Amino acid sequence: NVSSLFCSGSRSSKTFKPKKNIPEGSHQYELLKHAEATLGSGNLRMAVMLPDGEDLNEWVAVNTVDFFNQINMLYGTITDFCTEESCPVMSAGPKYEYHWADGTNIKKPIKCSAPKYIDYLMTWVQDQLDDETLFPSKIGVPFPKNFMSVAKTILKRLFRVYAHIYHQHFDPVIQLQEEAHLNTSFKHFIFFVQEFNLIDRRELAPLQELIEKLTSKDR
């Protein structure tokens, strides 16, 4: 089977997606800098709030790109542990299994290994982020009417990568001393999606206990 050979071959190079850069000097870059500065204060609830006078679509866009980069990097550290053999299905614990479909190239959900699923997912997200009609980077170019629904789908899918890492690869995360980094990134992500009601509660179920634990200290 040529396609499976190709998949495992391309996989072994352990490439993960290039970082998506927000152009310097742009308004979105200023927003990203603002986000980083407020994150530095340590108050994540405050850090996710829409800055005064800013456009919600733009704020969601900047943060979505940032979460894509963070998750990309976090998953990149554990790709050696996430293989066709270790993770033949894309799961988040015994109760949750994800099948891939993007609605265009793959319309009917397919069952695939976690590394394959995450590769599909991150490639799909990257394609959305690179689409100037969806994520305009130029000042004054309006966001499309369906922007928020696209952003919600992206964030819902990115959550699944966190869920897979927590459920299936937490031991290597601890060995690599990435635990604090992962927790902070995930907590930031959860506060953000909670603030703007971007992911359905049912979708968050695989990490519900962790979410309650991480967010209870900050109520």
| Annotated binding-site residue? 169 | yes
| Annotated binding-site residue? 112 | no
> Distances from the Cα of 146 to the Cαs of 21, 106, 192, in angstroms?
23, 21, 20
Which residues are registered as beta bridge partners of 204? Answer: none
**Burial category of 6 from C-beta neighbours within 10 Å (exposed 0-12, middle 13-18, buried 19 and up):** exposed
**How many Cα atoms within 13 Å fall on the side-chain side of residue 183?**
11
The interaxial angle of helices 114-130 and 147-168, nearest 10 deg, is 150
Helix (H, G, I), strand (E, B) or coil at 97: strand
- In the DSSP assignment, the letter for residue 50 is P
Helix (H, G, I), strand (E, B) or coil at 90: strand
Contact 62, 28 (CB under 8 A): yes
The two structure tokens encoding residue 81: 């542990």
Contact 158, 164 (CB under 8 A): no
| Annotated binding-site residue? 27 | no
CA geometry: angle at 172 spanning 170 and 176, to 5°? 115
**Residues annotated as binding site?**
82, 87, 164, 169
**Residues annotated as binding site for Zn(2+)?**
82, 87, 164, 169
